[in-house]
Amino acid sequence: MIRRLLSVYHARNLEFLRDRGTMLFSLLLPIMLVIGMGFVFGGPPRPLFKVGVLAPPAAAHAHPFLEERYVQFVPMSDRSAALAKLTHQQIDLLADFSAGTRYWVNTDSPKGYVIERLLLAAEPGAQREPVTGKALRYIDWLFPGILGMNMMFSCLFGVGYVVLRYRKSGFLKRLHATPLTAFEFLSAQVLSRLSLILFVTLVLYLGIGAIIGFHSAGSPALLALLAVLGALSMIALGLTVAARFSSEELVGGILNLLTWPMMLLSGIWFSLEGSPRWVQWVAYVFPLTQLLDAARDVMLDGAGVAQIAPQLVYLAATTLVFLAFGAWSFRWRID
C-alpha cells in the first residue's frame, strides 16, 4: 500500500512540476500580491481619519488642528462636491478656516464623531454646520459594494471553471464537431451566467432591502441596466481566462490575480479618496470600480443616464473587447 501511495504521490509531483505555467503562478502570485499591497498600503503609518479642508493652505496652515497626527488633510475647492463626499463618508469631516472655523460632520459616522472631538479640543468655539441633505449610513454606502463583490466572484469563477471542466472532460471536443462557433458557444455561456447572476442579485437586493432597508434615490431601471452591463463585462473577462488554458491551478491563479486587486481597490469596503493618484488610476481600469461608482451615484445621489454615461460606455466596450478576444483565443481541445 505504501508503494502505491508513494507512486501516486511521485506522479502528482512530477505532473505539477512539468506544468510550468501553474508552477510559475504558484510562486509569483503571492510575491506579486505582497509587493502590490506593500506599494498600496505600505510606507509610513496610514492616517486614521480624512478631513477635507476648504481654506487656502496659507490661511489654514497656522491652525493647531492641522498638526494632529494620523489625520490626512485633503484640500478641496468645491464645497458642494466636498459635502457630497462627507455625506457618503468618503471623508470624515469638512473644515473651513478662511473666516473663523466652520466645520461639517456626518452625524451618523463613528469616525466623524471622534474627529469632531479632536477639532473641538483644538478650538472649542468652532461653528458646527449640519450636513446638507439626509445623512447616509455606512450600510447605505457599503450595500452596492457587497452586491458588486458577489457578482464579481460569480462572474469570474462561475464561468471560468465551467468552461475549463468542459474542455477537460472532452465535451468541448464533441461540440467542435458541430457547426457551433466559438463566439456562439461563449455567447451562450455569457447569457446563461448573466440570467443566473441577475436573479441572485435581485433576490439579494429585495431581501436585504426588506430586512435592513437602504437608501436608494435613483431609478431601479437604471440600476438594472448597470447590473446587466457590469455582469456582462466581468463574465466576458472570466471567459478570456478560461478560453485557452486547461490547467485548473493556472486558471485559479489567474482568477485570483484578478479578483484580489478588484476586491481591495474597487471601493467595496472603503473609499479611495486621498489615496495616491496612481492607485486610483489602476482602480479605474477594473470593471468593478466603474460599476460601483455608477451604482453609488444612482442609489445615493439619484444620478441619471447622463451622469453615469462614461461608466456605461466603458462597461459595454470592455464586454465587447473581452468577448471578442475570448472567441479569438478559444481552444476546443486540451492539446
State the DSSP string of 15-78. HHHH-HHHHHHHHHHHHHHHHHHHHHH-SSPPPSEEEEE-S-HHHHTT-GGGG-TTEEEEE---
223 within 8 A of 298, measured Cβ to Cβ: yes
pLDDT at 56 over 70: no
β-pairing verdict for 127-129 and 102-104: parallel
* Exposure class string for 80-117: b at 16+ Cβ within 10 A, else e: eebbbbbbbbbbbbbbbbeeebbbbbbebbebbeebbe
Q: Which of 321, 239, 275, 308 is nearest to 39 (CA)?
A: 275
**Alpha-carbon gap, residue 318 to 271, rounded angstroms:** 24
**Alpha-carbon gap, residue 285 to 290, rounded angstroms:** 8
Q: Which of 12, 100, 91, 110 is nearest to 47 (CA)?
A: 91
80-91 pLDDT tens trace: 888 878 877 778
What is the separation of C-alpha 232 from the centre of its chain, rounded to a whole number of angstroms? 15
Burial (CB count within 10 angstroms: exposed 0-12, middle 13-18, buried 19+), residue 178 = exposed
3-state secondary structure of 283: helix
- C-alpha distances (whole Å) from 74 to each of 63, 98, 273, 280, 297 are 15, 15, 9, 15, 21
Averaged confidence pLDDT in the chain: 77
Q: How confident is the model at residue 60 (pLDDT cuts 50, 70, 90)?
A: very low
CA-based angle 309:310:311, to the nearest 5? 90
pTM: 0.67
Taking residues 167-191, what's their average pLDDT? 76
**Structural domains in the chain?**
49-129 (3.40.190), 138-329 (no CATH)
C-alpha cell at 90: 468618503
Taking residues 35-41, what's their average pLDDT? 56
102-141 pLDDT tens trace: 898 887 778 888 999 888 888 888 888 877 555 567 777 7
Q: How confident is the model at residue 335 (pLDDT cuts 50, 70, 90)?
A: low
DSSP for 135-174 reads: PPPHHHHHHHHHHHHHHHHHHHHHHHHHHHHHHHHTHHHH
pLDDT at 297 over 70: yes
Taking residues 176-182, what's their average pLDDT? 76
Residue 43 confidence (pLDDT): 56
Of 98-102, 226-230, 328-332, least confident by mean pLDDT is: 328-332
- Residue 61: how many CB atoms within 10 A of its CB? 11
